[in-house]
Chain A
């Protein structure tokens, strides 16, 4: 069984913990209890494979941002959560994603964009299109509107990010195999330490992924929630 470290990030009060606890324990936490750092485990089967998920639920309160770097380093996949009732929470995600990419030093990292509280139609200030637009700007990062209260799209979002990690790992091991072959083929006497750049290879990986992604919009049953996979 493989370990999958997933990190939940986002501004304060958007429902990161509610989404996480709903996914892990099937409970909706109503009271507000600001998180400093919580960690959860859950075993699920995805595509016939047993997966051991380690989920790190982080602080949204701005004062704790100094801890973020460590979380991002340890995480393999990321759920970036905003609230459809809070315009600024989506804006804050833009900087967060940049931070993830910078720390990971990669063009793409397993990630989903989540617009939570989609059941609060009356308070909604961000439309599905707002989320879609960001997802497109990010190179088609999968986007889900969720409701932690009604457990809408919660499992889907988590499963999606784990699938992305799986894909990424498969690609990486494939890449390594090929690199090894290549190295064996051209094993020169003194290959300089800084000569090989991983850049071209990872670019093709990103392209491959992009072409594989497709857009599927589905209307949720009870609430108007949108899923892009």
Chain B
């Protein structure tokens, strides 16, 4: 009976999710499109960087040209490199990988850091790319859990937990880049950051040395000379002791603390908007820490959670909001410094270091003192979300009944994953009867990566040739080489207790709950399923105690507390789904916005790379504009460039406001822009500048005479450069 009730609860959940399916599939499709676009933008970005270096090889140039030719035609017969006979095997393989996250989890621990980015991209955006599908999300989180506990197992001291750049930290980063994380940043942080960077002239520097220098500069600008007794260079202590400096800094400190306070308040108020997965990861960090290091203080646990939430998720977005599409363009110098200081304050608050590396940061300690309690509360609240193991089991059932399970994967992703699996097959699946082993044997060695223009995406249907038993968490996670069996045992025990109590609610009425008693009651119940569970869980409890994970002396305190917490959360599971439907609308909008942004970016790149090609083409047919001129064309040429050539220096451009930020190496800034490298940089900068102002008055800006002027100059220099370099291109 009880089991049926359970299914009913989940059914309601499933119905709610069904209603969302439409929206979800739209979001996922869009998300995938964005990912492809993003890759293209990144690709062109890196090519342009090479172009700037004048180091682009001829064949690479052709490759870029092909990229510009437009999207790869998926129906092009020429590019078929995939052996059609292998398709069913790949279908089996990826079904296995998706349904049993333990394989990928082990793989993540074995591959090198240079390989992991590609692997994680495939895992997070393709294998589990359906970001708003609970089954895929939960399987991904299960994989996360496995890698995370392995990391805890390997780390010998508490102090170095989750610190260095490891597979886990890469996973955390990639995970926060999935749709929900980005939407959170946009919804919660964007307004705050935007209102800050509006004040371009607001200088909140509090480093006494910098303030001192800025003050001297100001005096010199005002009076033309420096008064006696103010040496140009002083030690930090002297600068800090200067009364004028102190007078400048004091109000800034107050203002910084006000801003940081309001940022913190915003974050705390929007606790419920933090994506479930991110909160669940926080919860895992807390739970693993408490189990592995029972003596560690609550404060230290909080600093670990803060290390993930603030250091790897919130602060990067505050420091470089442009990289997260929260603002348009790079913030100006002063706001940028303010944002950095705010991030540093939040970091100090979350981490509470015992030593202040920069002395002046100590003046901001009141902020830390004031918010200590608040932040610890918040970090603990973050962890208060329910597990998903029950849902996952049901989702797995549903996945079995679904006939249309498929992923959209590119050939290179397919081959890369295949090749990584082959490399580590002996560890992943030593037994040659094992399904993974069988499939890899049949596939043979992985095909090499294909050139970009042949790297098409295919729809790979997923299905299994074997009858798939429904997996409980143990099978999903456990593998022969797993080092985290204790954790899995613990998780499963907890899940069974939760299940029992939900079946017989009166068991939990008396607090504190008595775990052995509950197991006993279940074992003697009328329901045969419950009896089996009761007997099983009794055995598991004993095993866990033997392993030293839990202790009967304190009545299994850790387990007790977590079971209770779980029960509390289960109540609002359905609520969350309803909330989800509301927030998904805004998710969809964010993703569409991002798509538009990426498209415009791509268009810009295409436009000026197209220009490069056009002009290089012209040159070879001798109709080029530039140094090489033949016969009568010379006059015509002179006419067309009658307004040039002009020579501009870097600083002139800077003065004109055409260069906002620049890549031009300093040793070249002094000379007039004279080669294509600098020209292209300037061109890039102007384009970016135009872009940032599009929202206001693109036309007006384009009318700006100095820009038009500049573009003309750029053009003439550009052509000259092209004509000089045709020889190397055609060769």
Residue of A nearest to B207 (CB): A39
| A155 on interface, CB distance cutoff 8 Å | no
Contact indicator B165/A12 (Cβ below 8 Å): yes
| B311 on interface, CB distance cutoff 8 Å | yes
| A170 on interface, CB distance cutoff 8 Å | no
Contact indicator B316/A31 (Cβ below 8 Å): no
Residues in B whose Cβ lies below 8 Å from that of A216? none
Q: B639-678: which residues lie under 8 A (CB-CB) from chain A?
A: 645, 647, 663, 665-668, 672-677
Question: With A and B bound together, what is the CA distance between A103 and B340 in angstroms?
Answer: 22
Question: With A and B bound together, what is the CA distance between A63 and B185 in angstroms?
Answer: 14
* Contact flag A38-B357 (CB < 8 Å), given A66-B323, A105-B668: yes
- Chain B positions 611 through 641: 1 when the CB is less than 8 Å from some CB of chain A, otherwise 0: 0000000000000000100000000000000
Residues in A whose Cβ lies below 8 Å from that of B236? 41
On chain A, which size bracket covers the interface? 35 or more
* Contact flag A89-B672 (CB < 8 Å), given A29-B355, A37-B340: no
Contact indicator A11/B647 (Cβ below 8 Å): no
- Chain A positions 177 through 214: 1 when the CB is less than 8 Å from some CB of chain B, otherwise 0: 00000000000000011111110000000000000000
Contact indicator A104/B674 (Cβ below 8 Å): no
| B241 on interface, CB distance cutoff 8 Å | no
Total B residues in contact with A, Cβ cutoff 8 Å: 57
Name which of A35, A41, A104 has the most chain B CB atoms within 10 A of its CB: A41
Residues in A whose Cβ lies below 8 Å from that of B32? none
* Contact flag A21-B235 (CB < 8 Å), given A63-B316, A91-B114, A193-B645: no
Contact indicator B113/A91 (Cβ below 8 Å): yes
Q: Which of B113, B319, B343, B672 contacts A88 (CB 8 A)?
A: B113
- Chain B positions 58 through 69: 1 when the CB is less than 8 Å from some CB of chain A, otherwise 0: 000000000000
| B448 on interface, CB distance cutoff 8 Å | no
| A67 on interface, CB distance cutoff 8 Å | yes
Residues in A whose Cβ lies below 8 Å from that of B53? 102, 105
Contact indicator A12/B353 (Cβ below 8 Å): no
- Chain A positions 19 through 59: 1 when the CB is less than 8 Å from some CB of chain B, otherwise 0: 00100000101111111111111010000000010000100
Contact indicator A27/B355 (Cβ below 8 Å): yes
* Contact flag A66-B316 (CB < 8 Å), given A12-B169, A194-B720: yes
Contact indicator B163/A36 (Cβ below 8 Å): no
Question: With A and B bound together, what is the CA distance between A103 and B363 in angstroms?
Answer: 36
Q: Which of A33, A52, A88, A89 contacts B233 (CB 8 A)?
A: A52
Q: A76-101: which residues lie under 8 A (CB-CB) from chain B?
A: 86, 88-89, 91-92
Residue of A nearest to B340 (CB): A37
Name which of A61, A66, A73, A194 has the most chain B CB atoms within 10 A of its CB: A194
Name which of A39, A61, A63, A197 has the most chain B CB atoms within 10 A of its CB: A63
Residues in B whose Cβ lies below 8 Å from that of A64? 315-316, 319-320
| B731 on interface, CB distance cutoff 8 Å | no
| B486 on interface, CB distance cutoff 8 Å | no
Contact indicator B112/A88 (Cβ below 8 Å): yes
Residues in B whose Cβ lies below 8 Å from that of A131? none
| A217 on interface, CB distance cutoff 8 Å | no
Contacts between chains A and B (CB distance < 8 A), count: 132
Residues in B whose Cβ lies below 8 Å from that of A92? 113, 165
| B431 on interface, CB distance cutoff 8 Å | no
Name which of B207, B311, B645 has the most chain A CB atoms within 10 A of its CB: B311
Contact indicator A40/B169 (Cβ below 8 Å): no
Q: Which of A36, A193, A194, A195 contacts B344 (CB 8 A)?
A: A36
| B509 on interface, CB distance cutoff 8 Å | no
* Contact flag A36-B665 (CB < 8 Å), given A12-B165, A86-B164: no
Residues in B whose Cβ lies below 8 Å from that of A125? none
Residue of B nearest to A76 (CB): B666
Distance between A103 CB and nearest chain B CB, rounded to angstroms: 7
* Contact flag A38-B209 (CB < 8 Å), given A64-B320, A193-B674: no
Residue of A nearest to B55 (CB): A102
Contact indicator B112/A194 (Cβ below 8 Å): no
Distance between B493 CB and nearest chain A CB, rounded to angstroms: 33
* Contact flag A196-B674 (CB < 8 Å), given A64-B316, A66-B323: yes
Residues in A whose Cβ lies below 8 Å from that of B663? 73, 103
Contact indicator B169/A62 (Cβ below 8 Å): yes
Residue of A nearest to B113 (CB): A88
Contact indicator B165/A11 (Cβ below 8 Å): yes
Question: With A and B bound together, what is the CA distance between A61 and B113 in angstroms?
Answer: 14
Residues in A whose Cβ lies below 8 Å from that of B665? 103-106
Contact indicator B315/A36 (Cβ below 8 Å): yes
Contact indicator A193/B351 (Cβ below 8 Å): no
Distance between A9 CB and nearest chain B CB, rounded to angstroms: 13
| B173 on interface, CB distance cutoff 8 Å | yes
* Contact flag A37-B344 (CB < 8 Å), given A12-B163, A31-B354, A32-B159: yes
Residues in A whose Cβ lies below 8 Å from that of B347? 34, 36
Question: With A and B bound together, what is the CA distance between A64 and B344 in angstroms?
Answer: 12
Q: Which of A38, A60, A67, A73 contacts B319 (CB 8 A)?
A: A67
| A17 on interface, CB distance cutoff 8 Å | yes
Distance between A45 CB and nearest chain B CB, rounded to angstroms: 14
| B93 on interface, CB distance cutoff 8 Å | no
Contact indicator B358/A40 (Cβ below 8 Å): yes
Residues in A whose Cβ lies below 8 Å from that of B355? 27, 29-31, 33
Question: With A and B bound together, what is the CA distance between A27 and B675 in angstroms?
Answer: 48
- Chain B positions 555 through 599: 1 when the CB is less than 8 Å from some CB of chain A, otherwise 0: 000000000000000000000000000000000000000000000
| B717 on interface, CB distance cutoff 8 Å | yes
Distance between B361 CB and nearest chain A CB, rounded to angstroms: 9
Question: With A and B bound together, what is the CA distance between A67 and B317 in angstroms?
Answer: 11
Residues in A whose Cβ lies below 8 Å from that of B717? 193-194
Name which of B357, B627, B677 has the most chain A CB atoms within 10 A of its CB: B357
Residues in A whose Cβ lies below 8 Å from that of B344? 36-37
Q: Shortest 8 CB-CB distances between A and B: which pairs?
A: A33-B353, A13-B164, A63-B316, A66-B320, A66-B323, A105-B665, A193-B674, A13-B163
20 residue pairs bridging A and B, Cβ less than 8 Å apart: A12-B165, A13-B164, A29-B357, A31-B355, A36-B315, A37-B340, A37-B344, A57-B357, A62-B173, A63-B313, A66-B319, A66-B323, A73-B663, A88-B164, A172-B667, A192-B627, A193-B647, A193-B717, A194-B676, A194-B720
